[in-house]
A and B are shown apart, each in its own frame.
Chain A
Amino acid sequence: MPRVDRTLRGASAVVGIADDVSPTGELDRTGRALEVAMILEALDDAGLSLSDVDGVCHAESSMGLAEYLGIHPRFTDSTMTGGSSFEVHLEHAAAAIAAGVCDVVVSVYASTPRSDRTQKRPVTRRFPGGPNPMAEWEWPYGMRMPMGPYALAASRHMHQYGTTSAQLAQIAVSTREWAVRNPRARYQTPLTIDDVLASPMQSSPLHLLDCCLVTDGAGAFVLASAGRARSLRKPPVYVLGAATCHDHMMISQMPDLTVTPGTVSGANAMAMAGISPAEVDVLMGYDSFTITALLHLEDLGFCPKGEGGPFAADGKLGPGGSLPMNTNGGGLSFTHPGMYGMFLITEAVRQLRGEGEARQVPGAQMAVAHGSGMVLSCMSTAVLGTEATL
C-alpha cells in the first residue's frame, strides 16, 4: 500500500464563494467586469478584501487577471484542463497553502457564450498551443464537439454493459427535480423520461435532453489557510482531499471509453480524506451529458463498474434520495457556460454551510466536487467537509 499523504487534509478551507447565473441564461455583465464582480463578492462573503489576496488562479491567464486587479500574487496558476480547471485550481491552491507559499487564493471564471451570440459580440476561439494531433486524426471526420466523444462513450457503455437510454434519461430527470427547487436554474419545469427520449436525437445515442445547457455563468471561490479561515465571516468548508488525473486529451486516445481517470483522482482524493463513498452526503459530479455523470458514479466507487444505469434508475440521485447529486440542477438544468467546474464547488460549499434553501440536503457534512475536463480527459476530485469532519 502506498503511503497516503495527509498534508493537505484540513490545511485549507473555502471561505468565500460567489456565482452569477440567470433563468434567462444570459447575464448583463461580461469579461473582466464580470470576473472582478465575482471576486469582490466572494471576498465579501468571506469578510476579506483584495489586499488580503496573495494567490490567483485563472484558466487562461492568471497574470492578466492579477494585472487588471492591481495585485502582486506570490502564487499563480493558469492551469486549463477544461471543465475541471477549477477543481485543479483548488487542489493546487490547497497544496500551496499547505506548503506555506501563500495564505489567501482566489479562482474565478466568467463565460457568456449565450449573450455573446445574442448580442453578436466578437468572440475569439482559442485552442491550446503546440502541435495539435486533433486536426490530423479527428477533425477530418466531422465529429460534433463536444457532444461526439460522449456519444462514443455512451455507445460503448451500452454495448458493454447493456446501459439503456431510459437509464441515462433518469439522470436528467433526477437532476431536473433539483432544478425545480432552484429559482436561479435555467430550466425549472419537471421532466419525464419520455420527455428525454422524445427530444431530438443528436449524436446518437444522446438525445437533446441528455446534453448540458449553453448559458452565461460566472463564479469565484476564495481558499484560505485553516488558521485564517476560522476567523472569517462564514463557517469554513475544509479541503479534506484533492487529486487529479488525466489519461488522454482527444477521445480517440482514451484507453477505455467506459473508464475515466476519475478512478484514480477519486480514489486518491478519498484516501487523502480518509473516507469511503458511503460517507458522501452530496455529490457534485460534472454532468456535461448524462453519460458523464453515470461514469462518475461508477469511477468514484458509488456503484460497481457497469452498474451506473441500474444504480441511477430508481431516482436515488434526486431530492430525498440516498445519493443527492448535482443539487443545484447541474450542467443539465442549472447552467453550463462551457467550463462548469466552478459551480460544483460553489454549490458544494452552499450545501455544507446549510445555505441550500429549498434544495438543502439535511445535515450535509461531506461533499465531493468532481470535475471533468475536455472530453472525459482530466478528472479532478475535491472532498470537502465541515468542521465536524476534521
Chain B
Amino acid sequence: MAGTRGTDGTRGNDKPVPTRMEPPVGADSAPFWAATRESVLLVQWCTDCDRGIFYPRSFCPMCGSSGSGLEWRTASGRGTVYAATTENNPAATGVTFSNGEPYVVALVDLEEGVRMMTNVVGCPTDDVHVGMAVEVTWEPLTDGRQLPLFTPASGQGPAAGPAGGSK
C-alpha cells in the first residue's frame, strides 16, 4: 500500500520510511515489478533462442529477437550463490536496512539461467558461501512493490543446485 499524505500535502505520520534506495522502474521492466506485488518472481524469456534475459530489455541481447519473441515466465525462485561479499562497514555505504550490522551482497544464479544481484538474508553472514542453494524471499518497498532477496533454501538441503532450467 502506498503511503498516505496529509490533507495539507505534507507527509502523514504513517508514511513508510525507506530503509534502502528503492529501485526505479525501467523502460522494459514494468511487468517484473508489478509481479513482485504478488510475491511472484518473473524472468523475461526469449522464445526464439530459449534463454532467460536479465535485466529486462526491449530485445534479446543474445539473438537479437524482439517483440513477439519475448515473454515473461514465472521463475522457480530457487538459485545458487555465484559470488558473495559481506559488507563489514555498513556506515561506508549509507544503507540503514541492516541496522548497522554487516550484511551480504551476492550474485545469485537462478535456475532459469540468469544472474541477479541481491542480499542473502535469514542466516548468519558467515554461513553464506559461493555454491550455496538459496530461494527467494520478499522485502516490502514503500510503494507496494517488493524487493527480491534470497535466503538459504528450505527442505531440499544442498541438493537444490544450479542445474536445470524451466523449459
Known: A152-B83, A203-B86, A257-B82. A135 touches B21 (CB 8 A): yes
Find residues 42-76 in chain B having any chain A CB closer than 8 Å to their own CB: 55
Of B4-12, B90-98, B154-162, the one contacting chain A is B90-98
Q: Indicate if B29 sits at the interface (CB-CB under 8 A).
A: yes
Q: Indicate if A141 sits at the interface (CB-CB under 8 A).
A: yes
Q: Indicate if B107 sits at the interface (CB-CB under 8 A).
A: yes
| Residues of B with C-beta under 8 A to A257 | 82-83, 107
Residue among B88, B105, B118 with the highest chain A CB neighbour number at 10 A = B105
- The interface size of chain A toward B, counting residues with CB under 8 Å, comes to 31
| Residues of A with C-beta under 8 A to B116 | 137, 252
Would B88 and A202 count as touching, CB distance under 8 A? Answer: yes
| Residues of B with C-beta under 8 A to A67 | none
Of A143-151, A185-193, A309-317, the one contacting chain B is A143-151
**Complex partner residue of B88 from A135, A142, A159, A201, CB under 8 angstroms:** A201
Would B105 and A142 count as touching, CB distance under 8 A? Answer: yes
Would B130 and A142 count as touching, CB distance under 8 A? Answer: no
Interface residues on B, range: 35 or more
**Complex partner residue of B23 from A131, A140, A156, CB under 8 angstroms:** A140
Known: A137-B116, A141-B105. A153 touches B83 (CB 8 A): yes
Known: A152-B84, A159-B130. A144 touches B23 (CB 8 A): no
Q: Indicate if A133 sits at the interface (CB-CB under 8 A).
A: yes
Q: Indicate if A68 sits at the interface (CB-CB under 8 A).
A: no
| Residues of B with C-beta under 8 A to A142 | 20-21, 87, 90, 93, 95, 97-98, 103, 105, 119
Would B85 and A155 count as touching, CB distance under 8 A? Answer: yes
Known: A142-B98, A204-B88. A135 touches B23 (CB 8 A): yes
In the bound complex, what is the Cα–Cα distance between A206 and B84 (angstroms)? Answer: 12
**Complex partner residue of B107 from A200, A206, A252, CB under 8 angstroms:** A252
| Residues of A with C-beta under 8 A to B3 | none
Q: What is the distance, in angstroms, from A373's C-beta to the closest C-beta of chain B?
A: 20
Residue among A141, A151, A252 with the highest chain B CB neighbour number at 10 A = A141
Q: How many A-B residue pairs have CB under 8 A?
A: 101
Q: Indicate if A136 sits at the interface (CB-CB under 8 A).
A: yes
Q: For the complex, would chain A's binding face be called helix, strand, loop or mixed by DSSP majority? A: helix
In the bound complex, what is the Cα–Cα distance between A251 and B117 (angstroms)? Answer: 9
| Residues of B with C-beta under 8 A to A148 | 85, 87, 105
| Residues of B with C-beta under 8 A to A136 | 23-26, 29, 55
| Residues of A with C-beta under 8 A to B27 | 131
Find residues 107-157 in chain A having any chain B CB closer than 8 Å to their own CB: 131, 133, 135-144, 148, 151-153, 155-156
| Residues of A with C-beta under 8 A to B106 | 152
**Complex partner residue of B115 from A140, A153, A252, CB under 8 angstroms:** A252
Would B87 and A140 count as touching, CB distance under 8 A? Answer: no
Known: A136-B23, A141-B105, A141-B119. A203 touches B87 (CB 8 A): yes
| Residues of B with C-beta under 8 A to A133 | 26, 55
Contact indicator per residue, chain B 9-23, by CB within 8 Å of chain A (1) or not (0): 000000000001111
A residues engaging B (CB < 8 A)?
A: 131, 133, 135-144, 148, 151-153, 155-156, 158-159, 200-206, 251-253, 257
| 10 A–B contacts, CB within 8 A, in A order | A137-B55, A137-B117, A141-B118, A142-B20, A152-B105, A155-B130, A159-B83, A159-B131, A252-B115, A257-B82
Given A139-B21, A143-B117, A257-B83, 17 further pairs, Cβ under 8 A: A135-B21, A136-B23, A136-B29, A136-B55, A140-B21, A140-B22, A142-B93, A142-B95, A144-B93, A155-B130, A159-B131, A201-B86, A203-B105, A206-B85, A252-B117, A257-B82, A257-B107
